[in-house]
Amino acid sequence: MAEVVTIPENIFYIIIAVIAVIGIIIALMQWRRVRESQSNVQFLEKQAELRKIELVEKDLESKRMMENVIPLPKEQQERLSEIRKSTSELMHQAGYLHGEINERVTRLEARTEYLKLQKLLQDIEKKEQELDKKTKKSIKTDDVQAVKGIKGGKP
């Protein structure tokens, strides 16, 4: 029968102690990583909260500025309304001109495409005429040879 290998009791305790120490070291490393992650998350949460507070403060400041509008003299208010009116008229005219430009560009593109197609059509017609001439010549020579063959010419 096979002999059972026995380990001395002291070596057995040492092996168990080494395994326990390795396990404790791994557990401590994982615990440290978890703590670092938690502190990073808390740091990011505080940063986000500070950013929110900063945005709210900016919003409140802009509202305060809107409420504390400095009243303008009547002459300046009229001038401001004239400027706004002329600006809206200019924007309307710019939109109209932009539409006109787009329409003309579209027409120009269509005209250019039409001219290209006409040129292609002329090229195709020339090639057809050349092809017709070649086929007519070959037909005539075939007819002449056929007639000679019938009359006793060389086959």
What is the Cα–Cα distance from 21 to 15, expressed in whole angstroms?
10
Residues 27-40: pLDDT tens digits?
A: 999 999 999 999 99
Side chain identity at residue 136, one-letter code = K
Helix (H, G, I), strand (E, B) or coil at 123: helix
Residues 54-98: pLDDT tens digits?
A: 999 999 988 887 777 677 788 888 898 899 999 999 999 999 999
pTM, rounded to two decimals? 0.36
Residues 138-153: pLDDT tens digits?
A: 777 666 666 566 555 4
Domain residue spans in the chain? 9-64, 77-133
